[in-house]
Amino acid sequence: MQDSRVATRGLVLLGCGKMGSAMLAGWLEAGLPASAVWVVEPNPSDWLVGTGVDLSGTLPEAPAVVLVAVKPQMMAEALPLLKPMGNGDTLFISVAAGITLAAFEEILGAQTPIVRAMPNTPAAISQGITAIVGNNAASAQHLAEAEALLQAVGEVVHVTDEGQIDAVTGVSGSGPAYVFHMIETLAQAGQAQGLDAETAMRLAKATVAGAGALAMTSEETPEQLRINVTSPNGTTQAALEVLMDESTGFPSLMARAVKAAADRSRELANG
């Protein structure tokens, strides 16, 4: 990253909350000089001040990249500040939920290379996954540049159509909340069977974390891993008969949950 276009011409980070801070930490750790970063953040944290990035509010005329990480409701106020950078070769990357490529083009110009990204909260520990899609002005090089920057907080996948971002939101964008709720309910179920609250929660957290790590590292599919741990007429099979019930179990429940999140994402995008 030290020899990249970003290091030479600079990067503007618009918004430095949890997601922006996670990405900035990853870039700096990867070798991006603090002197190459300008941050627009009305309430900078002590950590941000200590990084040495430029917080003066005076921005470069043509940075290599502008990464937009403000909340969607702040977008209308924030983006016009960057309009002079549009219709050039400055790449805009947005991690703001529900803001479409067309909405950015209306403000920045249709010739502006724009990449829309949907990360998730495990980015805070560099274990996130981000889906990206570009507008017509975004070249393969622009997409590669966006991927390189977003890899600072985890994996990156490409989708071929912007409409797929809504499905991504339902699966990975909102997905961590589903897993956190599963941990909650698994621990509560353990308590109901006689465990104390602390032990139940430790067991639930470690089980979900360990199973996820095994799924990520194993050459076997999650389906096969499930089969491996399920003895005929055993305890796991008894539980799975409840969880895999077509009308009340995970298949139906998860499909409805992901659809609800994706539908809400579409509503946000349509105003």
Judge contact between 174 and 145, C-beta under 8 A.
Answer: no
Compute φ and ψ for 230, nearest 5 degrees.
Answer: -105, 100
Residue with tokens 């030290």: 2
Residue with tokens 């930490």: 25
Query: Is 1 annotated as belonging to a binding site?
Result: no
Tokens coding 88: 């050039």
Query: Is 17 annotated as belonging to a binding site?
Result: yes
In 10 A of CB 60, how many CB atoms?
16
Query: Is 63 annotated as belonging to a binding site?
Result: no
Compute φ and ψ for 206, nearest 5 degrees.
Answer: -65, -35
Query: Is 190 annotated as belonging to a binding site?
Result: no
Can you tell me the distance from the alpha carbon of 24 to that of 51, in angstroms, rounded to the nearest whole number?
A: 9
Query: Is 70 annotated as belonging to a binding site?
Result: yes
Cβ contacts of residue 104 below 8 Å, gap of 6+? 79, 92, 94, 112, 114, 116, 135
Query: Is 225 annotated as belonging to a binding site?
Result: no
Tokens coding 252: 């139906």
Query: Is 71 annotated as belonging to a binding site?
Result: yes
Compute φ and ψ for 241, nearest 5 degrees.
Answer: -65, -30
Query: Is 82 annotated as belonging to a binding site?
Result: no
Query: Is 83 annotated as belonging to a binding site?
Result: no
User: Which is nearest to 60 in space by CA: 27, 17, 13, 107?
Assistant: 13
Compute φ and ψ for 39, nearest 5 degrees.
Answer: -120, 130
Query: Is 10 annotated as belonging to a binding site?
Result: no
Annotated binding site: 14-19, 69-72
Annotated binding site for NADP(+): 14-19, 69-72
